[in-house]
Amino acid sequence: MATLAADVPARGLATAQACALWGLEAQLVRVEVDVSPGLPSMHVVGLADTAVRESRDRIRSALRNSGFEFPLRRITVNLAPADRRKEGTGFDLAIAIGVLRASGQIAAHGDADPLLIAELALDGSLRPVRGCLPRVASAATQGAREAIVASANAAEAAAVDGIAVRAASTVREVVAHLDATAPIACVAPVVAADGPLDVEVDFADVAGQASARRALEIAAAGGHNVLLIGPPGTGKTLLARAFPGILPSFTPRERFEASVVHSVAGLLGPDRPLLAARPYRAPHHTLSAIALVGGASPPRPGEVSLAHRGALFLDELAEYPPPALEALREPLEDGRITISRAGAAATYPARAILIAAMNPCPCGFFGDADRECRCLPEQVGRYRARISGPLLDRIDLRVGVPRVEAAALRAGPAESSAAIRARVERARARARARGVLANVELPLSQLRRWSRLAGEAHLLLERAVAKERLSSRGYHRVIRVARTIADLDDGDEIAERHLAEALSLHREL
Amino acid sequence: MILARSDPAYPAHLAQCDDAPARLHVRGTLRREDEIAVAVVGTRAMTSYGERVARDLGRDLALAGVTVVSGLAHGVDQTVHGAALDAGGRTIAVLGCGLARFRGSVVRRRLLERIVITGAVVTEYDDDVSGSPWTFPERNRIIAGLALATVVVEAGAPSGALITAARALDYDRAVFAVPGSVYGPKSVGCNRLIAEGRARLCRGAADVLTEVGAMLPARELPRLPLSPVERAILDAVAGEARHIDELARDARRPVEEVSATLTLLELRDLVRGVGDGRFVARTNVTAR
């Protein structure tokens, strides 16, 4: 016969509220805990993965080390809805509180049924979980009014409107709040603001490279992708590093969207509750397709999603594994990626500006005025063929980056990032007037509506098509870029010079 | 304007032909220098090879100061006229119907208006005569009669272009044919002309120009219709391929303007991109 503490009743049933995350999609989960006579055991049912089932060991230790009783009964935990997969450690706190309620160690909760999101340490302290921001945000839209999270997650959770967020650091604090002996105050909402721009290179420090600078300005203004192609040491990487400095500041919606992805990847912290500036990701070319676009089981966002609303820089594009590059096609086209795995599919946003750089040939000096290229023509062809046509089709702006001559280096400082950024902001404001954040998001029907061509521009377009300078697929892409160029020029109508420049940037390299 | 055969303004070479039309309806202007003319004709259903040859011939003949004559039909004719105009040269279109009865596509009607501005559109038919199966072969004798030499770009087995070539031979004018694939149905006519020794081989404008060159009097060659910026850029890429950035700096123009200008020049076949953002002028257009 097991001896039980006198104040633990023989049986009990209680619930607590948690939230499950799949991809960026979150759903409220009702944690049901049943304590009944039987052999001491604890079962978690409701399609829980290993991390959830392991929670019983953490919960047992955490409760005992916090001075509570872990009932030596038969404990059944159900996570409802039971047909949806649950993963991760974010259910620990909700299950622990459910156990305490079912075993009568917390007074009946009445109205107070807060959302509980935290992982437990064995000593009873609360640890942060990945994806706290989207969980709290979804819960708020699904009707939850109060949430208790680990202190380390407090700042990001507080960014959500319409829900009271309280932060606790131990199970005891949570219990004290629930039985109203020591209520926890709400966390003050975070005022999201632009942090100081952490950009290594200013465009004022980039000598020459007029056409590449112009292409990057157009890219930032319209959200278009860019390919920089040129010999090594000509400043392709420098140009790409300077790029974040001309990106427009976040709109609140963009900041939230980007921060959610970073929350799911566990990249937000108390010191960095929301992204201060647009993300800039520059993964090395040895990464796998899954690391680039996301995947694994349970799914995690890849680099292209982490760069959502920001820029993704792929240096030495031809060196990336072909499967990784081909996997980029869907996110580049649609601005999101859906990862289907057994059981469920997760969709991550992936509206990033791709800045790709590559050498023109294996040795790198093809077309260089100073150094002789040692590659055979077929080697050059093979090297360039690594970038498939469909991928290249999705890169609207292609520029040759030449070696900078001494004359350009001697010239005074070039235009600063701030000056370029001001023009980019104005162009983006014109795009917002059309109901999108950037021209790259304009659906075709809207593009037609907003892209009135001047008479001469129309003739030019006809000629370009007749001369096979433009494919039908390229047609709309060129018009879209021309729309951005006209925006930078503050023009309502697309003039011949806008279209000609867009065609020029659409050139085969 | 209507020119009678006795009129001094009536084209001289055409007047020498026995069956020259008694009266010629003209829209646009015929000039003295149009006496130095080469006809370029070919099939309506041209291949991409034929289009390329027609474009190069039209441009290069026009740049050499030769007036280019053709029939403003689909395909080769239309391409040749367009290329000559783009290069800033003179061109004459001979119609197989009355001037008021021209029924072409929008593109060809627009082309006709461009020809009227810088060349001439002529026909022997009165305004209200519609084109019919016999008017077009008749018209071909005028094309052959106006020109010192006739070049057939692409022609199938029976072809109007072959009729033009036959009339040119009747008038004792030089005939050239552009060779094609021995399997190509659109090159059967040209290859046969060469095989039978009735036409000389044409590999490009140079072959034709050596024939008519002796007849060219010394005179001013046409200047390409170019804006100052276009001219400066064209001159800058005359010798060797240069990068957009370099051109912009030397011309002290914004790079977006230079980039747009180069595309316009490229679409006129005056420059070509060699990759990596560098451009070079096409041969034959330098120093104009």
Per-residue pLDDT tens digits for B133-154: 889 999 999 999 999 999 999 9
| B interface test, pick of A218, A401, A507 with most B CB neighbours within 10 Å | A507
Burial of A72 (0-12, 13-18, 19+ CB in 10 A): middle
CA atoms of A380 and A366, how far apart (whole Å) = 8
Q: Which tens digit of pLDDT belongs to each residue from A387-415?
A: 888 888 889 999 988 888 777 777 777 88
Of B267, B273, B276, nearest to A463 by CB-CB distance is B267
Q: Which tens digit of pLDDT belongs to each residue from B2-18?
A: 999 889 889 989 998 98
Q: What is the pLDDT of residue B286?
A: 47
Beta strands in A169-252 (DSSP E): 226-229
State CA A42 to chain mean position distance.
37
Within A414-471, residue ranges assigned H as helices are 417-432, 444-450, 455-466
Dmax (CA) for chain B in angstroms is 61
Looking at the complex, report in whole angstroms how far the Cα of residue B174 sits from the nearest Cα belonging to chain A: 31
Q: What is the mean pLDDT of residues B267-287?
A: 75
How much is the CA Rg of chain B, to the nearest whole Å? 20
Q: Is the pLDDT assigned to residue A164 strictly greater than 60?
A: yes
Q: Which amino acid is at B215?
A: M
pLDDT mean across residues, chain A = 87
CA atoms of B95 and B98, how far apart (whole Å) = 7
How much is the CA Rg of chain A, to the nearest whole Å? 28
Q: Is the pLDDT assigned to residue B92 strictly greater than 70?
A: yes
pLDDT exceeding 70 applies to what percent of chain A?
94
Q: What is the mean pLDDT of residues B209-235?
A: 71
- The answer to whether the Cβ–Cβ distance between A500 and B278 falls below 8 Å is no
pLDDT-based confidence at residue A107 (cuts at 50, 70, 90): confident
Output the DSSP codes for A65-81.
Answer: HTT-----SEEEEEEES
Within 10 angstroms of residue A508's Cβ, the number of other Cβ atoms is 9
ipTM of the complex: 0.76
Chain A residues lying within 8 Å of B82, measured CB to CB: none
Q: What is the pLDDT of residue B237?
A: 86
pLDDT-based confidence at residue A310 (cuts at 50, 70, 90): very high
Chain A residues lying within 8 Å of B86, measured CB to CB: none
pLDDT mean across residues, chain B = 88
Residue of B nearest to A489 (CA): B256
Chain B residues lying within 8 Å of A407, measured CB to CB: 249
Q: What is the mean pLDDT of residues A143-171?
A: 92
Q: What is the mean pLDDT of residues A441-452?
A: 88
CA atoms of B89 and B95, how far apart (whole Å) = 20
The tokens describing A195, both together, are 């942090």
Residue B268 per-residue DSSP state: T
CA atoms of A367 and B276, how far apart (whole Å) = 7
pLDDT-based confidence at residue A273 (cuts at 50, 70, 90): confident
Of B260, B273, B278, nearest to A501 by CB-CB distance is B260
Q: What is the pLDDT of residue B287?
A: 44
> What angle is formed at CA A16 by the lines to CA A14 and CA A21, rounded to 5 degrees?
145
Torsion, Cα A312 A316 A322 A323, to 10 degrees, reads -30
Give the number of C-alpha atoms closer than 13 A to the C-alpha of residue B16, restricted to the C-beta side: 13
Dmax (CA) for chain A in angstroms is 95
Within 10 angstroms of residue A83's Cβ, the number of other Cβ atoms is 7
Main-chain phi, psi angles of A238, to 5 degrees: -60, -45
Q: What is the mean pLDDT of residues B226-250?
A: 85
Q: What is the pLDDT of residue B217?
A: 55
Whether B229 has its CB under 8 Å from any CB of chain A: the answer is no
Burial of A197 (0-12, 13-18, 19+ CB in 10 A): middle
Looking at the complex, report in whole angstroms how far the Cα of residue A489 sits from the nearest Cα belonging to chain B: 11
Q: Which tens digit of pLDDT belongs to each residue from B160-188?
A: 899 999 999 999 999 999 999 999 889 99
Within 10 angstroms of residue A505's Cβ, the number of other Cβ atoms is 28
- Residue identified by tokens 């959500």 is A160
* Spatial contact of A326 and A365, defined as CB atoms under 8 Å apart: no
Q: What is the pLDDT of residue A192?
A: 66
pLDDT exceeding 70 applies to what percent of chain B?
93
* B135-140: long-range pairs with CB below 8 Å, 24+: B135/B96, B135/B97, B136/B71, B136/B96, B136/B160, B137/B163, B138/B96, B139/B71, B139/B94, B139/B95, B139/B96, B140/B41, B140/B71, B140/B164, B140/B167
Sheet of A25-36: strand order equals: A41-45, A74-80, A25-36, A12-22, A115-117, A146-150, A164-168
Chain A residues lying within 8 Å of B78, measured CB to CB: none
Q: Is the pLDDT assigned to residue B284 strictly greater than 70?
A: no
